[in-house]
Amino acid sequence: MQSLRRFVSRTVWSLCLAIPLVGMALAQERGGTLTVALNYDLDTLDPYASGFLTDVQATFLAGLVAPDHDAQYVPVLAEEVPTLDNGGIALNEDGSKMTVTYHLRPGLKWADGEPVTAADVVFTWEAVKDPSYLGPEKDGTAEIERIETPDDLTVVIYYDGVYSGFKASLFTYGVLPKHALEGKDLNNDPYWDAPFGAGPFMVTEFSRGQHVVVERNPYYFETDANGVQLPYLDRIIFKIIPDSNTQTTQLRSGEVGFAYNVPYTSLATLRNTPNLEIISAKTLAFRHVTFNLRNEQLADLAVRQAFAHAIDRTALNRALGDYMLPIDTFVVSTFAFSSDDVPTYAYDPELGRQLLLDAGYTPGRDGIMEKGGKRLSFDFMTQAGRAEYETAQQVLIAQLKAIGIELKPDNKAGAALSEARRNGGFDVWYSGWITPADPIDSYVSFYATGGFNNGGAYSNPDADAALYAAAGSLDPDEVTAAMHEAQRIVLTDLPSIPLFETPSIVVTTSKLQGFVSNPTNQTNFRQVAPWWLAK
Amino acid sequence: MNLTTFIVKRVLAAVPLLLGISIILFGVLHLAPGGPLDVYADIPGVSHEALENIKRELGLDQPVPVQYVKWLGAAVRGQWGYSIRTGRAVAKDIRERMPATFLLGGTAFVLALAAALPLGVLSAVRQYSLLDYTFTFLSFIGFSMPIFWLALMLQSLFAVHWQLLPSAGMYTIGDGGFADRLRHLALPASILSVAYMASWGRFTRASMLDVFGLDYIRTARAKGLGERTVIYRHALRNALVPVITIVALDFAGMISGAVITETIFAWPGMGRLFIESMNGRDYPVLMALLMIGSFALVAINLITDIVYSIVDARIRYD
Amino acid sequence: MTDPSAAMQDPRTLLGEAFKRFRRHRLAVVSLALLVVFSLAAVLAPYLTPYTFDGQDVALLGMPTPPSLAHPMGTDHLGRDNATRVLYGARVSLLVGLLSALIATLVGTIVGALAGFYGGATDNVLMRATDVVLSIPLLPLVIVLSGFLRPNLYLLVLIIGVLGWMGTARLVRSQFLSLRGRDFVEASRALGGSGIRIMFLHMLPNALGPILVSTTLSVGGAILLESALSFFGFGVQPPTPTWGNLLNSSRDWLDIAPWIATFPGLFILVTVLAVNFLGDGLRDAFDPRM
């Protein structure tokens, strides 16, 4: 694990994934309480209903499989990750449908000592799919035709098609205990006040707006190399601290021993505090500027190219704290199919201006380019109240002004933002995406014609073909080829400019050992069992 | 008209008032663009069908007047519905946050009153003295103060630079003893009390001066009663009646005004719940919180009216 | 204020006496001068500073810098001059304060005048409506409205103004009720004057003093409300600076650059304080009894 003490230095520094401590001379110690700062106000412990990432949920619920620190799926409750090679995935004769078979580990128990069986998996599917259950995260339920359980440890899932992303949702978030929830109203059963699952911990206290306490699950299945039962930690306290100043103060005073997504504004203070480690952890998140192609002027490729050449990623990064990683494509570097072979748009404001002049625009009296009496002036949306986004927005406004494009901030939050984002209530939009470990379905939703998250109305049949080919294939080589093609087309059409891959800044107490960051939306806590505290 | 009819009449008059308030609030919440489900739309895995289904289940697809009538019918029977954000009964969510807000508001209330009354009386007694001028100036500063700024500055001094007091929260997890809670309460309660201290002090002063001008005080003085007796026996008693009215009304305002203080100090009360529900646009919770705030104002108004009419015979029941 | 002889006096003499009394309130006079200076500075902002409010110094990007000769209040994390931003912030904050107080006064005066002049059913309906709005806690309601509507500057002014008229309405109503029975009103009625004419030509001038006082005081309230809203991120959006959203963005730097938070807050305090002293002076001037 590397501490980055010269964090805000203006030099370019390399980012290191935290390296597992396996094999190091330190002996793990069991016991202790870790206090974690949650920077949002946790709404519910139901992972299928929460509007946030599932940090706390990952400590007490376990799925069949989960993505690890390289975004590669590893088995959890299942004995192995099903693939075509190991026979876990089977196709029907014409290759139009697939069957996925999981074998549960023998002897698994819930945190209350009851056995985990195949019936629990079936129950989870039925419960989440049920229309009267209002949790919105039903992804992955509709494609399943039926589930068979030949014995207590075998689950055979029949899909109505072929889905490469089948691992991404339902059975990764977690399997729910049937015996605790059957016949109950999953929407608001008291189970969610102190839920348990087959994960390394179980919730013992949820004090709304204040904290969640999780304690060791005595029946957790995982052991370390020496046969010691995991987790090492006795207890984790998640303190709800939405205010970043308070978070900083509590990190410094030792009241909090773990915080992530720490704003860079806090770093200047934190890096001078002894006994804290600052880690830059890769994530699957990236920042982008997206255009609404319904806008006549933005439908002009030359305008979008000029726009891209006007952006100085280096200066922008500096304003954002110099910890972002500039990227040229929308596939982050963690994924093997991230392509180098895409058109790039170097910072070159002169070229940007020239592109606009060539396209028939002339500078108006106020310096803003215009054609036919219409100025290049756009509503520029980002999430209101989010400091990093608003900072980026203001730098971009200044950069684009330099080539004669006017951007007027039109920031929205919460409901209004989502509405505008989906339905194209913006001209230009700065934001971030974080994809699941199986990201192809997300790319489809961003860039395919009519995609759920395609608010800019981008549409190119070639891009659609490549994206759907990637989504429908189970062969890694085919996926890579199709994704390279999709990246080339999208970066040529430029409906959106990928800007940065966004690491998460994690600050921990120096006592914390065994922490490995997880870049996926399954959060760092998906691999919490081997964390331990040195005395 | 006797007292009972007066009370009954006033209570009945509160019903259309509350109805009017609820219509305005419901309209404001539901007619604004966007809706509560949009928080989920940022998660790529949430499908359009799932959202439509939830909308139907929650009745959000129906016309606003229909939704209102349903809400009203349920609310009258004490059914405040379920929070969209947490999935729990609204009443339960709010009940959990109430003690924190009342602890904060109550402490601030006592603090403000304990400072305002003596200061107000003293400045009235020593009108135009140095103390009076100082107090007047300070109270002007008090109610001109942007309290979020004061909170920010004091938080930065006491919690960050001097590290004397905790920066936020209600108690330390695992501690929660009396001293620990007191330390957490000190900053937010003092800050919340500042504006009220200033305004109640001014009001007490004015009220005392009014009473000093009345005939019976002049008479009492003329009769040679000691100044102390005149002030504390006669004047203060009468001056307190209007002060109590203002103070009672302000208490209701204090509870809803705690929004700012609770947010800055991460105080887990109703004010924070309000801001959280704002961000998630949790209609049922917002509606309930706003109605509770309005109800408190109406109720306290009613009670002070009634008490006033009992205490002060000069008010006729018309 | 209810001295029967007052209504008989020439309003100009009244005004002259009020002015004399106002001049005796030294704090109010100083406050008025200060507010005039602030307003002038706000209006003339572009001529008073070499920087623009959104001009970024690329060399200073990334970290705030402390106060210096070139930047008396330092720069923010985007290399923008804080003093310039506070100066431009004054424009918005003062404008919002002034305009919304005027709207509140206008609405309040009309409602109060109608209720007080016509009485009966009109009075009843208008006063019940006033009660309804008064019974909703103001701050949460304003937060809901501006949080949901994401208003621009003028919509924000409208929201603050439209929710602040009740006090004025009650005040004007009570003034009108007491004026209604007076001889000069009866006289103009007997002469066949129209309601509107009597209200606004004869009665309103007599109520102007208290109205002016309440308008002044609501300017202070509106400035505080706007800054609170912007502080929460529900008010005016960046990069347009207001004192409230300057404070909001200063929070992230409170630990290492406290000067960013100090100045805008200080300006809010001093401005509102001056407005309140001015209101106090005006009250003394128009209502010597207090």
Taken as a whole, chain B contains a residue count of: 318
- Nearest by CB to C144, which of B145, B206, B286? B286
Residue B77 has pLDDT above 70, yes or no: yes
- Name the residue among A72, A90, A69, A53 with its Cα closest to residue A20: A69
Residue B191 has pLDDT above 80, yes or no: yes
Residue B7 has pLDDT above 80, yes or no: yes
CB contact under 8 A, C252 and A318: no
- Which of the listed ranges A163-177, A449-463, B49-63, C147-161 does the model predict with the highest average pLDDT? A449-463
Question: CA A283, CA C116: separation in Å to the nearest integer?
Answer: 66
Q: Is the peptide bond before A439 cis (omega within 30 degrees of 0)?
A: no
Helix or strand holding residue A370 (H, E): strand A369-371
Question: CA C125, CA C111: separation in Å to the nearest integer?
Answer: 10
What is residue A276's three-state secondary structure? strand
Q: Chain C contacts of A409, Cβ < 8 Å? A: 237-239
Q: Please tell me which residue of chain B has the smallest CA distance to A128.
A: B50
Identify the residue whose tokens are 């949080």.
Answer: C147
pLDDT single digits (tens) C213-265 = 889 989 999 999 999 888 887 888 777 889 988 988 888 787 778 888 899 99
Q: Chain A contacts of B38, Cβ < 8 Å? A: 414-419
pLDDT single digits (tens) A52-76 = 888 999 999 999 999 998 888 999 9
Sign of torsion, CA C215 C221 C224 C229?
negative
What confidence score (pLDDT) does residue A508 get? 95
- Quick check: C267 contacting B, CB < 8 Å? no
Give percent of chain C above pLDDT 70. Answer: 93
Interface of A with C (CB under 8 A): 8, 10, 243-245, 248-249, 263, 265-266, 268-269, 315, 318-319, 321-322, 384-385, 387, 390-391, 394-395, 397-398, 409, 411-413, 415-416
- Name the residue among B208, B209, B243 with its Cα closest to residue B113: B243
Helix or strand holding residue B201 (H, E): helix B178-212
Q: How far is B289 from chain C (nearest CA, A)?
A: 9
What confidence score (pLDDT) does residue C6 get? 44
Chains that touch C (3 or more CB pairs under 8 A): A, B
Output DSSP code: residue C6.
G
Sign of torsion, CA C229 C233 C235 C236?
positive
What confidence score (pLDDT) does residue A212 get? 95
Long-range contacts, stretch B66-72, CB < 8 angstroms, 24+ apart: B67/B26, B67/B30, B68/B22, B68/B23, B68/B26, B68/B27, B68/B30, B71/B26, B71/B287, B72/B22
What confidence score (pLDDT) does residue C269 get? 95
Q: How far is A446 from chain B (nearest CA, A)?
A: 9
Phi, psi of A512 (to 5 degrees): -75, 125
Q: Chain A contacts of B160, Cβ < 8 Å? A: 245, 249
Q: Mark A459-470 as b/e (b = at least 16 C-beta within 10 Å).
A: bbeebbebbebb
What confidence score (pLDDT) does residue A3 get? 32
Binned at pLDDT 50, 70 and 90, residue B39 comes out as low
ipTM reported for the complex, 2 dp: 0.87
Q: If contacts are CB pairs under 8 Å, which of residues 187-246 in chain B contact chain A? A: none
Chain C interface test: which of B134, B152, B291 (most C C-beta within 10 Å): B152
What confidence score (pLDDT) does residue A241 get? 86
pLDDT single digits (tens) A359-379 = 999 999 989 999 998 999 999
Q: How far is A250 from chain C (nearest CA, A)?
A: 13
Q: Is-contact C25 C284, C-beta < 8 A?
A: yes
What confidence score (pLDDT) does residue A217 get? 96
CB contact under 8 A, C148 and B281: yes
CB contact under 8 A, C135 and B298: yes
Helix or strand holding residue A378 (H, E): strand A377-381
What confidence score (pLDDT) does residue B263 get? 86
Mean pLDDT of chain B, nearest integer: 84
What confidence score (pLDDT) does residue B50 get? 73
CB contact under 8 A, B280 and A414: yes
Q: Mark C15-35 as b/e (b = at least 16 C-beta within 10 Å).
A: eeebeebbeebebbeebbebb
What confidence score (pLDDT) does residue A388 get? 84
Q: How far is A213 from chain B (nearest CA, A)?
A: 10
Which regions in chain A score pLDDT beneath 70?
A: 1-26, 385, 414-415
pLDDT single digits (tens) C175-188 = 888 887 777 777 77
Q: Chain C contacts of A248, Cβ < 8 Å? A: 255
Residue C125 has pLDDT above 70, yes or no: yes
- Name the residue among A22, A23, A4, A24 with its Cα closest to residue A14: A4
Phi, psi of A37 (to 5 degrees): -90, 125
CB contact under 8 A, A319 and C150: no
Phi, psi of A484 (to 5 degrees): -60, -45
Q: Chain A contacts of C239, Cβ < 8 Å? A: 394, 397, 409
Binned at pLDDT 50, 70 and 90, residue C59 comes out as confident
pLDDT single digits (tens) B250-304 = 888 787 778 889 988 889 899 989 988 887 788 899 999 999 999 988 998 888 8
Q: Chain A contacts of C256, Cβ < 8 Å? A: 265, 268-269
Instruction: Give the Cα-Cα-Cα angle C247, B85, A520 (nearest 5 degrees).
Output: 80
Q: Is-contact A330 A288, C-beta < 8 A?
A: yes
What confidence score (pLDDT) does residue B43 get? 58
Q: How far is B292 from chain A (nearest CA, A)?
A: 20
Q: Chain A contacts of B36, Cβ < 8 Å? A: 415
- Name the residue among A235, A237, A218, A231 with its Cα closest to residue A112: A218
CA of C55: how far to CAs of A317, A387, A408, C80, in Å? 18, 18, 15, 6
Q: How far is C47 from chain B (nearest CA, A)?
A: 29
What confidence score (pLDDT) does residue B137 get? 92
Q: How far is A252 from chain C (nearest CA, A)?
A: 12
What confidence score (pLDDT) does residue A22 get? 44
- Quick check: B184 contacting A, CB < 8 Å? no
Q: How far is B143 from chain A (nearest CA, A)?
A: 26
Instruction: Give the Cα-Cα-Cα angle B159, B165, B171 (nearest 5 degrees).
Output: 115
Q: Chain C contacts of B140, Cβ < 8 Å? A: 273, 276-277, 280
Q: Chain B contacts of A169, Cβ < 8 Å? A: 45
Could you tell me how many CB contacts below 8 A there are between chain A and chain C? 69
